[in-house]
Chains A and B, each alone.
Chain A
Amino acid sequence: MSRLAALAGALCIACTAFAREAAPLAEDPKIETRLIAIAEELRCLVCQNESLIASRADLAMDLKRQVREQIRAGKSDQQIRDYMVERYGDFVLYRPPVKSTTLVLWVGPFALLIAGLCTVWIFVRRRRTAQGATLSAEQEARANELLANRANDASR
């Protein structure tokens, strides 16, 4: 029990230690809010599946500094995005504009989905018609005969 308490105590100490070490938020929360909004939509180039805001990579920190400066200089969100695209290409945008080079990206998944649905549809339909057509004329006559017999039995 006392060991548990000690553990809890140690954890509390660890938590406070961590809180003290956290990076100080920038002076101006308004700039920070805009930075987060912009940088969430930008890709970090060093760790490519992380957003700029989530990344702690050195370059990401520099780029965030750059964005902060531009916000302070009164640039619009679009101007800041353009600044990034000019240097790193459409790749930095999580939502790249629709144009010839990005068309496959935008249309591709839907095209694949439609192709898949078409395949399933053709498959199902073929199987259904195939099942309907498995009886030859002879078999059908025999089946009808059996059914007729059964009907006769029931009426008797």
Chain B
Amino acid sequence: MGRIAIVVGFFALVILLAVGLKRDPREVPSPLIGKPAPAFELPRLAGAERFSPAEMRGKVWLLNVWASWCVTCRDEHPVLVDFAATKRVPLVGLNYKDQRDEALKWLSRFGDPYQFSVVDADGRIGIDYGVYGVPETYVIDRAGVIRFKQIGPVTAELLKAKILPMIAELEK
């Protein structure tokens, strides 16, 4: 009787630890989900206009944090280019702690999936959005509320399984 209890307890502990090992410690749940996207007003990467998220009211849109120095962004990039080609929802880039000319070079070399990018040169807006590992992508609804945050690259699978259904749901 007691031996069974010990064996059961042991396996419960093993399962608990195994689950803990499988989880990605880099994925910290964002406290910003369900909160309004922090306001900002930033210059665009190309052109003299400025952009503030308030302009997107009434639209579901994606905000993608990227940088030319970010290696993983290169992996993610083709997925975003394909996504942008479908013209499903606006995709805005937040060019995070980057050099302007490097960023522009990067876009002309690998393609520009963004409706436009805005410049967060010193990373202050990134901090407001809880950015800690570029690339990160936010799904923002019509009311300007953050509904989803992807830490790390957006993959074709994630787009299909999670982001696109979510956009459809939010546009209802």
Contact = CB atoms under 8 A, between A and B. Distances in A.
A87 B26 contact: no
Contact of A119 (B9, B28, B122, B129): B9
B56 interface: no
Interface string B116-156: 00000011101111111100000000000000000000000
B47 interface: no
B31 A63 contact: no
B2 A87 contact: no
Contacts of B89: none
A87 B9 contact: no
Given A46-B132, A62-B127, A126-B2, A85 B31 contact: yes
Which 7 pairs of residues, A with B, have the shortest CB-CB distance?
A: A45-B132, A87-B130, A89-B31, A91-B28, A62-B123, A88-B130, A59-B132
30 contacts: A45-B28, A45-B132, A46-B132, A46-B133, A48-B26, A59-B131, A59-B132, A62-B122, A62-B123, A62-B126, A62-B127, A66-B127, A85-B31, A86-B31, A87-B31, A87-B32, A87-B127, A87-B128, A88-B28, A88-B31, A88-B130, A89-B30, A89-B130, A90-B31, A91-B28, A91-B29, A112-B13, A119-B6, A122-B2, A126-B2
Interface of B: 2, 6, 9, 13, 25-26, 28-32, 97, 122-124, 126-133
